[in-house]
């Protein structure tokens, strides 16, 4: 299974299964590969039937596409998960403390631990948030921390995704599919459930209601940009699963000092809005006046303390790539502890020495746009052609401050089911974190993304990645 | 000095407004040399939804109009003002200084503004305050105070090119120039007691420049002075758009007409 260069999560170098996979490997050896391949095809039918599709940007013809699903689970041992949980919780606490600070007293800038220019020149910093203190000091109600693994105990945080991370519907549907296809496996192995996520989301958002909301059952709504958004399925799915209204801007208006939604019995005030609309489009009265996706005056109602916006506007400053390399300092500054999870070593191309190093080693590095997302506008040095390298070199020289570079990590592999049997492919992991004033909850599982192309290190679904069910084992 | 202000703003429309929201920044705050003795804002034809402090600590009322043809805003009260020779000071706000450095839509410099600023580039390093006084004079000369030559959407560069403008344009030009010289600058909207004139047709505007060790210092280019105890500060921001007395968003195609009645008295 393993070619020795990469850490394979299923098999040891000699071919014996690693402990978390022992039972699975045993079960697998007793299965007929042909019937498994047949099941693989069934899974696709299942996804098509429930309508879980995904719009790919930049592909005009194939508007909606299925994200390929692989039937071999990604399995994580209880002890491995505990370590990850501690690390993620620490990081998420630090991020919320950082946001509270950066939009209020800015102690971290005054202390010199973070250079002011990282914030002052940053478009992700939202001056309209200055002086706002959301309930419980929670800014990032929902976080999707992207992790990669390079060895038995080596996990790195790739991105913090503190804006509006998507993908949780895949975590839930992938599990649903696996439960239907392989019920016997779940009786043999103690896999922690993920199905309570919608209920936990409901609890977590309810606990984040504004202080003025006295109802034991705050009114929640999911704000979607609409049916043409690539994650519309997830918006409607989550609203449905947690029993909240799915609303668009045109359903909302200001009534009696609150944001209210149209219902058959008139307008009903909303206490907590889980918005899947970007900051710039959220409020045409206060931000982009051309936006048709936003609610005029919602920021005013927010500043007056009459609604909770999840995630808070302006959280993008915390997961900005220009800030990423300072995360270990940020964790230490606010928690007083060393970061449990490692950061990927990062060269800031804005710094002259770093730029020189990056240009000299371009073919070995991954270069990312500071403000990019979804794997667009990035260079994977080892996989790039000479022409691509030359083009990127020109870009780097023209606007060095726009880029950061990282070593090409030897991402771990987990096998996928192919026509020729199991074959290793690179994976990452996005666990989903819920933050309320009362607690931080991390669902035991997450979204495992897998690069389906042999040797590829790009797992983004917009770049041909697939997904796997993620199993966290009980003790 | 104790100033008594009565300010009535009336918006009339040719048909009922279906749905409109107006952010109203017409309430002065007790701070930095001024004390609000009493103040009331009343809205007819619209309903106050929320009142809050914005990111610059300006008191704001959000007013909703639905189905009416007229919105009348009456702001009145008394304010006690100290003469501080324009020095507002460091301020207690949380807004970091660098927020007042980047250009905005109204304060994007063009070639004419850069030309205007050029002679001051060396001086500013030696004496920031004196340079700003000279800059203010130069802008007063370059942009003649003329009513009707510009609109609320005119940019600083456009005003310099036209060579004409009102207090809003003077403030925008001075802000743009000061930022080009490396100084944080902000827009102020407020009231001014004018000698021999009780009835005024508009609110006033000026700007404040951050001078090291002194803090924010006001400059009223239009009147070639630094604000004293005749000036009441009402709202601040990066430019007019942040500090405008009324900023709104309206659905439907009703035509709007504005009428202002303003008295500032001792």
CATH architecture of A347-407: 2-Layer Sandwich (3.30)
Strands B144-145 and A154-159: unpaired
**Mind giving me the DSSP string for A180-201?**
HH-HHHHHHS-BPP-TTHHHHH
Residue B19 sits at the chain A interface (C-beta within 8 Å): yes
Domain ranges for chain A, please list them: 19-210+307-343+409-472, 347-407
Residues A430 and A446: their CA atoms lie apart, in Å, by 5
- Tell me which residue of A280, A317, A316 sits closest to A299, measured CA to CA: A280
The minimal CB distance from A105 to the residues B23, B62, B94 is found for B94
Consecutive sets of 10 residues in chain A, 475 residues long: mean pLDDT of each? 75 92 96 91 77 47 65 97 97 98 97 93 92 94 96 94 91 94 94 97 97 91 93 93 96 97 96 96 95 95 97 95 93 97 93 94 91 70 91 93 91 94 95 97 97 85 84 94
The minimal CB distance from A304 to the residues B52, B101, B247 is found for B52
Residues B41 and B28: their CA atoms lie apart, in Å, by 11
Sequence-ordered list of residues with C-beta below 8 angstroms from that of B234, at least 6 positions apart, any chain: B25, B26, B27, B28, B58, B188, B189, B190, B191, B203, B243, B245
**Tokens representing residue B188 in the block:** 């102020």
Residue A131 sits at the chain B interface (C-beta within 8 Å): yes
Say if CB A341 and CB A86 are below 8 A apart. no
Residues B120 and B207: their CA atoms lie apart, in Å, by 18
Residue A251 sits at the chain B interface (C-beta within 8 Å): no
Predicted confidence at residue A13, as pLDDT, reads 85
Q: Which of residues 64-83 of B touch A (CB under 8 A)?
A: 64
User: Which of A133, A298, A304 to probe the B interface (max B CBs under 10 A)?
Assistant: A304
Could B19 and A109 be called an inter-chain contact, meaning their C-beta atoms sit closer than 8 Å?
Answer: no
Residue range B234-266, pLDDT digits in tens? 999 999 999 999 999 998 888 999 999 999 999
Chain A positions in Cβ-Cβ contact with residue B99 (cut-off 8 Å): 120, 127, 130
Residue A300 sits at the chain B interface (C-beta within 8 Å): yes
Chain B positions in Cβ-Cβ contact with residue A303 (cut-off 8 Å): 50, 52-54
Chain A positions in Cβ-Cβ contact with residue B62 (cut-off 8 Å): 254, 297, 300-301, 304
Sequence-ordered list of residues with C-beta below 8 angstroms from that of A75, at least 6 positions apart, any chain: A9, A10, A20, A21, A24, A471, A473
Chain B positions in Cβ-Cβ contact with residue A130 (cut-off 8 Å): 55, 94-96, 99
Residue B18 sits at the chain A interface (C-beta within 8 Å): no
Residue A116 sits at the chain B interface (C-beta within 8 Å): yes
Instruction: State how far the alpha carbon of B185 is from the alpha carbons of A429, B96, B163, B213, B219, in Å.
Output: 46, 12, 22, 15, 10
Chain A positions in Cβ-Cβ contact with residue B60 (cut-off 8 Å): 300
Strands B70-81 and B2-13: antiparallel
Predicted confidence at residue A44, as pLDDT, reads 79
Residue range B186-231, pLDDT digits in tens? 999 999 999 888 888 889 999 999 999 999 999 999 999 999 999 9
A257 min Cα distance to partner chain B (Å): 4
Could B49 and A256 be called an inter-chain contact, meaning their C-beta atoms sit closer than 8 Å?
Answer: yes
Residue range B66-113, pLDDT digits in tens? 999 999 999 999 999 999 999 999 988 899 999 999 999 999 999 999
Q: Is the peptide bond before B233 cis (omega within 30 degrees of 0)?
A: no
Could B95 and A130 be called an inter-chain contact, meaning their C-beta atoms sit closer than 8 Å?
Answer: yes
Predicted confidence at residue A465, as pLDDT, reads 86
Predicted confidence at residue A55, as pLDDT, reads 47
Predicted confidence at residue A380, as pLDDT, reads 87
B142 min Cα distance to partner chain A (Å): 32
Residue range B139-189, pLDDT digits in tens? 999 999 999 999 999 999 999 999 999 999 999 999 999 999 999 999 999
**Tokens representing residue B264 in the block:** 């500032």
Could A254 and B95 be called an inter-chain contact, meaning their C-beta atoms sit closer than 8 Å?
Answer: no
User: Which of A254, A284, A302 to probe the B interface (max B CBs under 10 A)?
Assistant: A254
**Torsion sign (Cα): A50, A240, A435, A105:** positive
**Tokens representing residue B46 in the block:** 């619209």
Could B21 and A285 be called an inter-chain contact, meaning their C-beta atoms sit closer than 8 Å?
Answer: yes
Could A257 and B98 be called an inter-chain contact, meaning their C-beta atoms sit closer than 8 Å?
Answer: no
**How big is the CA angle at A380 (ends A358 and A463), to the nearest 5 degrees?**
150
- Tell me which residue of B51, B3, B49 sits closest to B26, measured CA to CA: B51
B24 min Cα distance to partner chain A (Å): 11
Q: Which of residues 91-130 of B touch A (CB under 8 A)?
A: 94-96, 98-99, 101
Q: Is the pTM of the predicted complex or chain greater than 0.90?
A: yes
Residue A99 sits at the chain B interface (C-beta within 8 Å): no
Residue A120 sits at the chain B interface (C-beta within 8 Å): yes
Residue B65 Rama label (left phi>0; alpha psi -120 to 50; beta): beta
The minimal CB distance from A253 to the residues B19, B62, B96 is found for B19
The minimal CB distance from B53 to the residues A131, A256, A257 is found for A131
Residue B85 sits at the chain A interface (C-beta within 8 Å): no
Residue A290 sits at the chain B interface (C-beta within 8 Å): no
Identify the DSSP state of A124. Answer: T
The minimal CB distance from A297 to the residues B57, B62, B99 is found for B62
Q: Is the ipTM of this complex over 0.90?
A: yes
Predicted confidence at residue A259, as pLDDT, reads 98
Chain B positions in Cβ-Cβ contact with residue A116 (cut-off 8 Å): 96, 98
**Tokens representing residue B73 in the block:** 């805003």
Chains A–B, number of C-beta pairs less than 8 Å apart: 69
- Tell me which residue of B211, B218, B251, B222 sits closest to B234, measured CA to CA: B218
Could B64 and A254 be called an inter-chain contact, meaning their C-beta atoms sit closer than 8 Å?
Answer: yes
The minimal CB distance from A116 to the residues B21, B95, B98 is found for B98
A267 min Cα distance to partner chain B (Å): 14
Residue A291 sits at the chain B interface (C-beta within 8 Å): no
**What is the 3 state secondary structure string of A38-99?**
HHHHHHHHHHHHHCCCEECCCCCCCCEECCCEEEEEEEECHHHHHHHHHHHHHHHHHHHHHH
The domains found in chain B, sorted by start residue, are 2-81+246-265 (2.60.40.2250), 87-243 (3.10.620.30)
A302 min Cα distance to partner chain B (Å): 9
Predicted confidence at residue A41, as pLDDT, reads 86
Could A131 and B94 be called an inter-chain contact, meaning their C-beta atoms sit closer than 8 Å?
Answer: yes
Residue A374 sits at the chain B interface (C-beta within 8 Å): no
**Tokens representing residue A246 in the block:** 């799915």
Chain B nearest-CA residue for A299 = B54
Residue A297 sits at the chain B interface (C-beta within 8 Å): yes
């Amino acid at each position: 299974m393993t070619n020795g260069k990469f850490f394979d999560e299923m098999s040891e170098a000699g071919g014996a299964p690693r402990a978390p996979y022992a039972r699975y490997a045993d079960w697998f050896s007793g299965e007929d590969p042909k019937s498994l391949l047949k099941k693989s095809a069934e899974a696709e039918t299942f996804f098509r039937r429930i309508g879980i599709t995904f719009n790919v940007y930049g592909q005009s013809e194939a508007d909606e596409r299925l994200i390929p699903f692989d039937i071999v689970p990604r399995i994580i041992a209880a002890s491995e998960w505990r370590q990850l949980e501690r690390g993620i919780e620490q990081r998420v606490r630090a991020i919320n403390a950082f946001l509270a600070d950066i939009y209020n007293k800015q102690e971290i800038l005054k202390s010199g631990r973070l250079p002011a220019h990282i914030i002052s020149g940053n478009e992700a910093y939202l001056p309209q948030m200055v002086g706002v203190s959301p309930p419980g000091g929670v800014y990032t109600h929902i976080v999707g921390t992207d992790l990669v693994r390079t060895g038995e105990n080596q996990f790195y945080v790739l991105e913090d995704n503190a804006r509006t991370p998507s993908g949780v519907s895949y975590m839930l549907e992938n599990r649903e599919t696996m439960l239907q296809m392989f019920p016997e496996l779940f009786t043999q192995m103690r896999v922690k459930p993920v199905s309570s996520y919608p209920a936990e989301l409901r609890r977590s958002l309810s606990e984040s209601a504004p202080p003025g909301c006295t109802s034991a059952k705050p009114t929640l709504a999911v704000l979607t940009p609409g049916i043409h958004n690539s994650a519309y399925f997830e918006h409607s799915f989550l609203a449905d699963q947690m029993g909240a209204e799915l609303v668009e801007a045109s359903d909302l208006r200001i009534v009696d000092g609150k944001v209210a939604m149209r219902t058959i019995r008139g307008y009903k005030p909303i206490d907590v809005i889980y918005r899947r609309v970007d900051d710039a489009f959220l409020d045409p009265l206060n931000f982009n006046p051309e936006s048709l996706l936003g609610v005029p005056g919602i920021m005013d109602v927010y500043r007056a303390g009459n609604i909770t916006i999840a995630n808070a506007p302006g959280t993008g400053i915390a997961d900005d790539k220009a800030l990423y390399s300072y995360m270990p300092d940020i964790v230490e500054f606010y928690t007083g502890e060393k970061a449990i999870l490692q950061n990927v070593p990062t060269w800031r191309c804005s710094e002259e020495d770093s730029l020189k190093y990056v240009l000299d080693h371009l073919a070995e590095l991954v270069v990312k746009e500071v403000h990019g997302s979804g794997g667009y506008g990035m260079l994977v040095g080892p996989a790039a052609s000479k022409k691509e390298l030359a083009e990127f070199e020109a870009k780097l020289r023209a606007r060095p401050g726009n880029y950061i570079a990282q070593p090409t990590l030897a991402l771990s592999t987990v096998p996928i089911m192919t026509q020729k049997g199991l074959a290793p492919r690179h994976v990452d992991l996005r666990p989903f974190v819920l933050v309320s004033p009362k607690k931080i909850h991390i669902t035991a599982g997450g979204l495992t993304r897998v690069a389906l192309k042999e040797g590829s290190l790009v797992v983004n679904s917009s770049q041909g990645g697939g997904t796997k069910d993620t199993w966290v084992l009980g003790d | 000095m104790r100033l008594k202000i009565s300010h009535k703003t009336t918006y009339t429309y040719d048909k009922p407004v279906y749905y409109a929201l107006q952010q109203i920044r017409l309430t002065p705050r007790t701070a930095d040399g001024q004390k609000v003795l009493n103040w009331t804002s009343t809205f007819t034809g619209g309903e106050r939804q929320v009142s809050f402090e914005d990111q610059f600590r300006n008191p704001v009322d959000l007013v909703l109009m639905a189905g009416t043809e007229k919105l009348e805003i009456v702001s009145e009260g008394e304010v006690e003002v100290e003469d501080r020779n324009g020095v507002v000071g460091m301020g207690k706000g949380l807004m970091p200084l660098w927020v007042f450095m980047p250009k905005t839509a109204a304060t994007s410099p063009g070639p004419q503004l850069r030309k205007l600023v050029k002679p001051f580039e060396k001086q500013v390093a030696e004496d920031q305050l004196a340079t700003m006084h000279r800059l203010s004079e130069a802008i007063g000369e370059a942009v003649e105070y003329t009513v009707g030559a510009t609109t609320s959407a005119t940019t600083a560069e456009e005003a310099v090119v036209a060579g004409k403008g009102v207090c809003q344009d003077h403030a925008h030009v001075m802000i743009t120039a000061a930022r080009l010289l490396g100084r944080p600058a902000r827009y102020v909207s407020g009231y001014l007691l004018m000698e021999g004139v009780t009835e005024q047709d508009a609110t006033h505007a000026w700007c404040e420049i951050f001078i090291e060790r002194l803090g924010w210092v006001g400059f009223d280019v239009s009147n070639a002075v630094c604000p004293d105890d005749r000036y009441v500060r009402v709202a601040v921001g990066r430019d007019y758009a942040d500090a405008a007395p009324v900023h709104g968003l309206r659905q439907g195609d009703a035509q709007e007409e504005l009428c202002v009645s303003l008295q500032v008295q001792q």
